[in-house]
Structure formats: structure tokens, C-alpha cells
Chain A
Amino acid sequence: MSINWYLFGGYASVWTILFLLLLYILRKQRQLTEEIRRLQDEEE
């Protein structure tokens, strides 16, 4: 079975863009949660 590289490229671009977006959001979200925890600890 031969690989259709255009089909592969198309789907690879879909998952790369979505993965990068999700990674960016999750990373930022974790940083913010940590920052809020730090501020809350300072408050206490």
C-alpha cells in the first residue's frame, strides 16, 4: 500500500496546528494557576 503524501501532509498540518495551540494554552494555564497559588500563599 502506497502512502498518499498530500493526504498525509494535509492531516499532519491539522494535528500540528491543533497540538501547538493546545500545548500553548495548557502551558500558559498552568503558569497562571501557579501564579495565583503563589499570590494566595502570600496572602495567607
Chain B
Amino acid sequence: MWSATDKIRLRQAERYLTAAKVLAWPAFLLILAALYMAFIYAPRERQMGEVQRIFYFHIGAAWNALGVCFLAVFIAGILYLWKKRRIWDHVGASFVEIGLAYTTINLTTGMFWARPVWNTWWPWGDPRVTLMLVLWLIYVAYMIFRSTMPDGEKKYKYCAVFGIIGFLDVPLVYVSIHIWRTIHPKVITSEGMALETPMIMALFTSMAAFTALTALLFCLRMAMRLQRTVVLERLYEETV
């Protein structure tokens, strides 16, 4: 017999899948709009030329990794330690995976931009680039740690703590270009954004597109996690 908890989990999973289906079209259309804005609407940058167009998706990915995913991991970690509800562990783990994908996108697009502009694929002396790599390594470590621990209260608690501590690098990544000597462009300054209006619009469109995609991926991943919990528990019962 399916337990009441199983039924609730499967119902929640269904709801997440429905939400993902609803989000699929807006996300797809926003991505098309972001591509149009980045490649056609936004003007060609005078000094860097065409390669500057990488910037829109580079920042879109950074915003989603740092400002959406890892912040959500931090909040979910606190909520798990406070409420001790498994759902917050699911939320944290889902956002780590998505955030890690965005961090990878941010680092690779940065490399493709850096080669023609800075004449190097990887500037080791730049604090922001190095701290972003450290952030990527922190969450890769989180994933490895998570996959090696057996399911249970202990694992969820340690992962919550890991997510909270890992987040400490996020504000550091943001302020690094303001407090250390760096060659990284300073787009957001105290006087506002150092960009032309069409460029700002293209940037916000790509940020919105990636945010919609984050919501879609999160719903899919949550549905999967809930279903996986039910399946694993059933298979465990069958073998015991």
C-alpha cells in the first residue's frame, strides 16, 4: 500500500511538473528575446567589438548562480536547520546543481571573452575570476560530499551547513573588484551602470530569461527528487 506520505510526495511532484510545463513556453520565448536583444538590438561595442556580446549571457548566468541559486541554497540551509523539514534539503540540493551549471557557464563564457580582450584564457591574478573558481570548487565539493553520504538526518544537516558556509564566498566575489586591484570591468558602480540603454535592456532580458529557466529547471529537479524519495523508500521496503 502507498503510505499517506508517499501520496503527498507524489502529488507535490505532479504539481512541480505542471508548473514546469507552464514555465516552459515563457522561458523559451524569453531566451529567444534575449538572443535577439544580445545579437541584434544591442549595439556593437566600440573597443571590444562583437566578442562583447558574450557579456549579456555571462552576467545573466552570474546573476542566477549567485543572486538566485546560491542565495536560495543559503536560505534553504537555514530553514532546514530551523524547521528540520526534508523539503528544504530538496530545495537546497536542487539549487546547488542549477547554480553549479550557471557558474560553469559564467566561467567558460568569461574564458572565451578574456582570450581576445585580455590576451589570456585565464588571468590568475584577477581576484574575481579566482574567487569565482573557488565558489565553483566549493559547490563541486558539496555535490561530491552529498553523493558519498548515506541518506538520513545527518547528511541533510551537514549539507545545510555546507550550503550556508559556502555562501560566504558569494559576497566576496561581488565586492572583490571594488576592494582589490583588478583588471575586471566594473559595470555596476556607485554612479549607476556604465552601459548604453540598449545594452542595459539586453542585459536585463538575458537575466530574466535565465531566471525563468532557473524556475523551470528547479521545478523539474524538485519533481524528480520527490519521486526519487518515494521510489527509494519502496525499493528499500521490498528488500527488507
Do A and B originate from a single complex? yes
B231 lies within 8 A of A6 (CB): no
B227 lies within 8 A of A7 (CB): no
Q: A17-B101, A32-B224, A33-B227 are in contact. Are A6 and B1 (CB under 8 A)?
A: no
Pair count A-B, CB < 8 A: 73
Q: How many residues of A sit at the interface, in one of the four size bands?
A: 20 to 34
Chain B 208-232 interface mask (CB, 8 Å, partner A; 1/0): 0000010001001101100110110
A18 lies within 8 A of B57 (CB): no
The answer to whether the Cβ of B12 comes within 8 Å of any Cβ in the partner chain is no
Q: Smallest CB–CB gap between A17 and chain B, Å? A: 5
The answer to whether the Cβ of A43 comes within 8 Å of any Cβ in the partner chain is yes
The answer to whether the Cβ of B25 comes within 8 Å of any Cβ in the partner chain is no
The answer to whether the Cβ of B68 comes within 8 Å of any Cβ in the partner chain is no
Q: In this complex, what residue of A is CB-closest to B35? A: A11
B109 lies within 8 A of A13 (CB): yes
B224 lies within 8 A of A28 (CB): yes
B61 lies within 8 A of A14 (CB): yes
Q: Specify which chain A residues have a CB less than 8 angstroms from the CB of B50 in the assembled complex.
A: 4, 7
List CB contacts (< 8 Å) of B104-151 with chain A.
104-105, 108-109, 112-113, 115-116
B224 lies within 8 A of A25 (CB): yes
**Other-chain residue from B1, B61, B116, B213 in contact with A43 (beta carbon distance below 8 A):** B1
Q: A17-B105, A28-B224, A29-B224 are in contact. Are A10 and B112 (CB under 8 A)?
A: yes
Q: In this complex, what residue of A is CB-closest to B61? A: A14
Q: Smallest CB–CB gap between A10 and chain B, Å? A: 4
List CB contacts (< 8 Å) of A1-44 with chain B.
4, 6-7, 9-11, 13-14, 17-18, 21-22, 25-26, 28-29, 32-33, 35-36, 39-40, 43
| 5 shortest interchain CB distances as A-B pairs | A10-B112, A10-B54, A13-B108, A32-B227, A4-B50
What are 14 inter-chain pairs, A to B, with CB distance below 8 A? Answer: A6-B113, A6-B115, A7-B50, A7-B54, A10-B113, A11-B54, A11-B109, A13-B105, A14-B105, A14-B108, A14-B109, A21-B98, A32-B228, A36-B231
**Given A14-B61, A18-B101, 4 other A-B contacts at CB below 8 A?**
A10-B113, A25-B224, A32-B231, A43-B1
